[in-house]
Structure 1
Amino acid sequence: MTPELTELIARARVVVWDFDGPICRLFAGRTARRVAAELTAVLERAGLSGLPAGAGAETDGPLAVLRAAHRRNPDAGLLAELEELLAQEELRAVSKALPTAYADPLIRTWTAVGARMAVATDHSPRAADAYLAGRGLAECFARRVYGRDRLPHGLKPDPYNLNRALDGTGAAPDAALVLGDSPLGLAAARAAGVPFLGCARGEDEERRLRAAGAPVVVGSLESVLAALRTPARPN
């Protein structure tokens, strides 16, 4: 437990979680690659080629394809088709999603001590809602789940959904804390002026977050839970 981590936790009145990563692992690597390939195939049939099909598939494959498609500015109908295809795959993945270690007790404990929880994600809010309900966590978030819309704009590093979460909770940026696992999430937090806590699953993720400038990175949410449960020492 570091003083920097303790300070981040102590100042946070609102905790804004990324969904896939800090809360759960939505896709297994093979599934992510398959879904990314399916999205790419739809784009190729529409005459858009040269988009990523597998790069970064274990962490961001399908979303990487969606971001790349959005940059190519296809028609709204094609974007909506891609988004719905991905949303249906995300909903199917919910039943097999793996909870991130210590995420459930951390969410419940943080809520119990008075912090408000929110989700800001590039994934479908329907999938996030379904996962939280299945884990018995929906009440902790009180409908404060902000995700990708049908015509996906405002994807990270744009702070669009993070700003929606701040508006929905009535929180000032410096009273909030983002829990994220990617440099894109860090960039969105910086753009919104919100402190960021990096959650790394393995050394590669930790290196990427630190290289992007994340000031505090934890390898397990256990350390966050331990810090939250440790009474503050009087000055």
Structure 2
Amino acid sequence: MARQQVDWLEEQGLHGLLANGVRDDPDPHSVLRAVDLRHPDSDLVVELEERLTHEELKAVVSAWPTAYADALIRTWTATGVRLAVATNNSPRVAVSYLTDRGLIECFSPHIYGRTQNLHLLKPDPYCVNRAVMAMGADPSCTLMIGDTASDYLAARAAGVNFLGYARNDRKKRQLWDAGARTIVPSLRPVLDLVRGG
């Protein structure tokens, strides 16, 4: 998706908006942020964000679920734990994915995602704070599971406990370098713990 954004900007003659590091960054949010920094609240940013949302929605149909995530979500919900989504993706995408997986009732209405205010993307704690406040939760008794450095940084800024999920060594290194110290390579031990096993 990031490559598509860069290509589209170049087709518009706007390749100069991006520094070299951003052009090669695989995170499409980096491209979106970079353009927003240069042209905040512009039609260009609105167009780029909508194009990203469109691509995210297309990706929902082929998104491969994280192993044990569905069972963990259902088990936690069954025990009375309240869940929320705090994502840098469009909330429309989160709703679509959760609906397709039959999990929407486990989260609704607590789905907080990207807004037009792109400076509020994680690592800013905005969406994490919104989720905690909407549920009336105590941040110190709240857990966020995330797989990016920005997830960890947002959780830390919100005063929320953090569990890193790293499906490979690269992800683990990124989380560790950001400061996360509790990192699992699989959600299976978390599911076992919730089940009391």
TM-score, normalised with respect to structure 2: 0.91
Structure 2 unaligned regions, length at least 5:
none
Q: How does 1:1-235 map to 2 (within 5 A)?
A: 32-38=1-7, 40-41=9-10, 44-45=13-14, 48-50=17-19, 52-55=22-25, 57=26, 61-230=27-196
* Counterpart residue identity of residue 92, structure 2: R
Structure 1 segments (4+ residues) deviating >2 Å: 32-51, 70-76, 150-153
Q: Secondary structure at the match of 2:120?
A: coil
Task: Work out the CA distance in 2 between the residues paired with 1:98 and 1:148.
Answer: 21
Q: Which residue of 2 aligns with 1:27?
A: none
Moved more, 72-81 or 207-216: 72-81
1:113-143 per-residue CA deviation (whole Å, 9 max, x = no partner) reads: 1111100011000011000000000000022
Q: Which has the higher contact order (CA 8 A, sep 6+)?
A: 1
Q: CA deviation at 1:167?
A: 1.4
Q: CA deviation at 1:80?
A: 1.0
Aligned residue pairs: how many? Answer: 196
Structure 1 unaligned regions, length at least 5:
1-31
- The verdict on how the C-alpha distance between 1:105 and 1:147 changes in structure 2, with shifts beyond 3 A counting, is same
Q: CA deviation at 1:47?
A: 5.7
Judge conservation of contact 2:17–2:34 (CA < 8 Å) in 1: no
Judge conservation of contact 2:95–2:104 (CA < 8 Å) in 1: yes
Task: Work out the CA distance in 2 between the residues paired with 1:124 and 1:54.
Answer: 22
* Counterpart residue identity of residue 201, structure 1: R
More helix by share: 2
Q: CA deviation at 1:204?
A: 1.3
Judge conservation of contact 2:84–2:111 (CA < 8 Å) in 1: yes
TM-score, normalised with respect to structure 1: 0.77
Task: Work out the CA distance in 2 between the residues paired with 1:72 and 1:183.
Answer: 24
Judge conservation of contact 1:39–1:65 (CA < 8 Å) in 2: no
Q: Which residue of 2 aligns with 1:3?
A: none
Task: Work out the CA distance in 2 between the residues paired with 1:194 and 1:118.
Answer: 13
* Counterpart residue identity of residue 149, structure 1: T
Q: CA deviation at 1:33?
A: 4.5
Judge conservation of contact 1:76–1:151 (CA < 8 Å) in 2: no
Q: CA deviation at 1:36?
A: 3.6
- The verdict on how the C-alpha distance between 1:41 and 1:172 changes in structure 2, with shifts beyond 3 A counting, is farther
| CA RMSD across the alignment | 1.9
Task: Work out the CA distance in 2 between the residues paired with 1:43 and 1:157.
Answer: 29
Moved more, 81-90 or 129-138: 81-90
